[in-house]
Amino acid sequence: MGGLPAGRVEPTEHDYALWEKRVDALMVLLGGQGRGVITVDELRRGIEQLGAEAYEAMSYYERWIASMTNTLLAKGIITSDELGRRMAEVGKRGEGAG
């Protein structure tokens, strides 16, 4: 985390889950080609601000989505009410999938 010793990194290829691909695509859309809604530095700073406990508990892309969400909230691009409503809508869609 943020330059702290973490041991050996084992680079491996793996299949990405659909949600991980979507998180990556979101970052491309939010940060790319002059839109600059979120910069890579903001993403990294947001990840480092999660704190050690949250950082350790989250996967790579969970950290990304938490950082992006917090940045969008801080910039006023989305509100917590909007986020809550959308999460509820997604949750209802998921209930019918089982």
* Residue 1 within a domain: no
Out of 20-29, 30-39, 50-59, least confident range: 30-39
Output the DSSP codes for 27-89: HHHHHSTT--SS-HHHHHHHHHTT-HHHHHHS-HHHHHHHHHHHHHHHTTSS-HHHHHHHHHH
* Residue 46 within a domain: yes
44: Cα within 13 Å, side-chain hemisphere: 6
* Residue 39 within a domain: yes
* Residue 38 within a domain: yes
- 55 within 8 A of 1, measured Cβ to Cβ: yes
Note the pLDDT of residue 11. 63
Better-scored residue on pLDDT, 43 or 1:
43
Better-scored residue on pLDDT, 14 or 78:
78
* Residue 10 within a domain: no
pLDDT band at 20 (very low <50, low <70, confident <90, very high): very high
Number of domains, the chain? 1
Amino acid at 83: L
pLDDT mean across residues, the chain: 87
Domain that holds residue 24: 18-93
- pLDDT over 70 for what percent of the chain? 84
CATH of residue 55's domain is 1.10.472.20
SS (H, E, C) 31-47: HCCCCCCCCHHHHHHHH
Report yes or no on whether pTM surpasses 0.85: no
* Residue 86 within a domain: yes
